[in-house]
Amino acid sequence: MINSEERYRQAFAHIAEIKRILCATEYALKDQRPATVLVTSAAPGEGKSLFVAALATAAAQSGKYRVAALDLNWDRPALHRFFNLALTHSEKALCAAELSALVCPSGQESLDILTAPGDYADCFKGDTQAGAVTARLIGQARTAYDVVIIDSAAIFPASEMMIDPVMLSGLADGVVMVVLTAATPRQQIRRAQKIMESSGASILGVISNQRKLSAP
């Protein structure tokens, strides 16, 4: 049975805007391969995971790339829901195994998904090696795929549980910021942008997600 998140992902991957965003991203990255794009936002819940799922699907459907979408928002995992997958890996498995043994087929040709660990919150002891582990997994993804799209945490509020998107931006060729229009305060968006820029991130663009919060 197809869930509502999967339905959204399939619908979004087909809309003209996503295809334009894919073109703009290709242009910004000058068709470089492998290309790694980090998706983040100033605040939680702005639509990052939906955008990652739709962009990765559109990139795979273009027929030009082998695509991997990585859920590196381990504290609030969501990417699996857009592909009807389960969080089957433990954090220990993610720390030890090769990426090739961890990715799941998405159901879309040329698109593989790395889901987050299912036990991250239970295992978290404050001394996580997540930074080193995610750097290794991104490196392996860049070897095996043409396009790597990373779903990450929001920049605010910073928490010790999250894999810091600012740290991840150093491993990506470009950063896309999702903004939930008319919801996120402008000042917070500016602060997020400054933090990213001052850490050397290349911001490729901003996605305005015009989801109506009052809609069901």
Ligand X SMILES: Nc1ncnc2c1ncn2[C@@H]1O[C@H](COP(=O)(O)OP(=O)(O)OP(=O)(O)O)[C@@H](O)[C@H]1O
**How near is the Cβ of 8 to ligand X at its closest, in Å?**
5
For the chain, give the number of residues.
216
**Binding partner selected for residue 47 from ligand X, Mg ion, none, CB under the kind-specific 5 to 8 Å limit:** ligand X
154 binds ligand X (CB under 6 A): yes
What burial class does residue 39 get, using C-beta atoms within 10 Å of its C-beta: 0-12 exposed, 13-18 middle, 19+ buried? buried
Residue 47: which region, alpha, beta or left (left: phi > 0; alpha: psi -120 to 50)?
left
Among 12, 35, 38, 48, binds Mg ion (CB under 5 A): 48
Measured CA to CA, the distance from residue 64 to residue 85 in angstroms comes to 25
**How near is the Cβ of 195 to ligand X at its closest, in Å?**
16
50 versus 133: smaller Cβ distance to ligand X = 50
**How near is the Cβ of 56 to ligand X at its closest, in Å?**
13
Backbone angles phi, psi at 100, to 5 degrees: -60, -30
What is the β-pairing status of strands 67-71 and 104-105? unpaired
How far is CA 48 from its chain centroid?
7
Among 36, 40, 41, 49, binds Mg ion (CB under 5 A): 49
Q: Tell me which residues in 55-114 interact with ligand X (CB under 6 A).
A: 73, 76, 78
Contacts with Mg ion by CB under 5 A lie at 48-49, 73, 78
Contacts with ligand X by CB under 6 A lie at 5, 8, 41, 44-50, 73, 76, 78, 154, 209, 211
